[in-house]
Amino acid sequence: MNKDANIRLQDNVVLEHYGLNELHLESVRHYREQFAKAKPNHPWNGLETKDFLYKIGAWGKIRDTNKEGLTLAGLLMFSEERMITEVLPQYFLEYREHDDNDMHWTNRFTSQDGTWSGNIYDFYFKVMNEMQDGLEKEKEAVHEALMNALVHADYNGDGGIIVERQQSSIQFSNPGLFRIPLDQAYNGGMSHLRNPNIFKMFIYIHFCKRAGLGLKTIETICLQQPVIDQYDFQERTVITLPVVSFPKRHKQNDDLEMICDWSEHVELADSINNNENSYNNDLNSYNSEFESVNKELSSLNNELSSVNIIDKSLNKDQNSENKPESSLNKSINSVNNNEGMHIDQELWSIAGIARKKKRLAPAKMEEVILQLCARRPLMLKELAYLLERTPDGLRNNYLGKLLAEGKMRLKYPDQPNHPKQAYITNK
């Protein structure tokens, strides 16, 4: 797009051809959880998804045509990289870290990985999750600097947002120059927003305040001013924070077992829109009731026998788990013979809690999946049968996230579409 077109592309512009099916549902769900936590009695908590998104500025209406769609802010916050780059071709997010004297990355992810949504909301949590290791008081300063980059970036500009961590510093680089003099930015009390709708969405969940005190807060925490470099030719801003050294990582996933205060329930999963049978393809299935996303596709669970066509399916009767052992074995054997799956009683027992509770907590569901795949490699259809969830739901809400975190691996990593692909828990 040319420069004149870019100027008009503010974050409140309505993208009439981008609807709810362009959303990454887990990002929206997690944001609503954060909103409800910050404002438990707010009347917006009871709104349907489109109405809620309209209230926070993620959905808009074109008055003279009565058309509506996602705003650019809503697309950046809650969509996926593939859709975002259709509108903003230069859009890019990157996190990387390396030692001061070694430019080889020890850890890196980008919005183009395909292992997570690639939107700016999930990027915040992924970066803060990485910052759990080796930082103490600087975490709040990192939060302020990252927020500054996300809400002030010129998403029409080149180069994207880059967070680079070294042993003695962390750099936050984003397209776009400061819109106020630097001395005023250091002193605080003034804020000139480039992306007011994005900023407002973060304000709603208490992630930032419109006080113009971000740099002042960083200075107070780090006991010195952050270093700010502005490159007029590139129209780019780089903020460098001095930090204490963090330990070298002997294994890239050493910190993944830590409990992350910044992303207690965030699920960065694979795209929900990749499969033609995805429930995102039907707008009504999403618009009618947002909570239906968290019911593991109730269409599957309303008729438990729908998973198993065989006449003697274990799931045919909701009380089948209370049948005598001989009947249980008979049902499992019939599945093994007709569906090509090999389900033993140990696996069936481990997965029992997921079958009993159709709205199991995400952390508990992940724990069950890891326990199952630690026994032996399990194919997607086997997991779907054991847990009584749809394959799409498992892949999009849990398996993609566990793979991205290094807690699981594929049996055939070089052949993602292998007909006998299976999931294995990393010991």
Q: Whole-number mean pLDDT of the chain?
A: 75
Confidence of residue 93 (pLDDT cuts 50, 70, 90): very high
Residue 316 has a pLDDT of: 40
Other Cβ atoms within 10 Å of 268 Cβ, number: 25
For the segment 231-254, the average pLDDT, to the nearest whole number, is 66
What radius of gyration do the chain's Cα atoms show?
Answer: 24
Cβ 281 vs Cβ 415: under 8 Å: no
CA-CA distance, 58 to 249, in Å (whole number)? 39
Higher pLDDT, 203 or 417: 203
Q: What is the pLDDT of residue 126?
A: 95
Question: What pTM does this model have?
Answer: 0.57
- What is the model's pLDDT at position 290? 36
Q: What is the dihedral of CA 258, 259, 264, 270, to 10 degrees?
A: 20
Compute the average pLDDT of residues 335-356. Answer: 75
Confidence of residue 59 (pLDDT cuts 50, 70, 90): very high
pLDDT tens digits, one per residue of 153-202: 999 988 999 999 988 889 999 998 875 666 656 555 556 688 999 999 99
The answer, yes or no, to whether residue 315 has pLDDT greater than 70, is: no
Model pLDDT, residue 374:
94
Confidence of residue 115 (pLDDT cuts 50, 70, 90): very high
* Residue pLDDT, tens place only, 269-306: 333 333 333 333 333 333 333 333 333 333 333 433 33
Residue 310 has pLDDT above 70, yes or no: no
Q: Is the pLDDT of residue 52 over 70?
A: yes
Query: pLDDT above 90 covers what percent of the chain?
Result: 42
Torsion of CA 82, 194, 154, 113, to 10 degrees: -40
Q: Is the pLDDT of residue 363 over 70?
A: yes
Pick from 120-129, 190-199, 223-232, 235-244: least confident = 223-232
List Cβ neighbours of 220 (8 Å cut-off, separation of 6 or more): none
Per DSSP, what are the bridge partners of residue 410?
423
Looking at residues 122-150, what average pLDDT do you find? Answer: 86
Q: Read off the pLDDT of each residue in 91-114 and give the average, rounded to a whole number.
A: 85
- The whole-angstrom separation of Cα 371 and Cα 374 is 5
Residue 248 pLDDT > 80: no
Regarding predicted confidence, which is higher, 104 or 387?
387
Per-residue model confidence (pLDDT) at position 169: 86
Residue 5 has pLDDT above 50, yes or no: no
Highest mean pLDDT among 62-76, 214-228, 245-259, 342-356: 62-76
pLDDT of residue 323: 41
The Cα-based distances of 252 to 97, 104, 137, 179, 427 in angstroms read 11, 13, 23, 38, 14
Between these two residues, 224 and 397, which has the higher pLDDT value?
397
| Mean pLDDT on 359-377 | 91
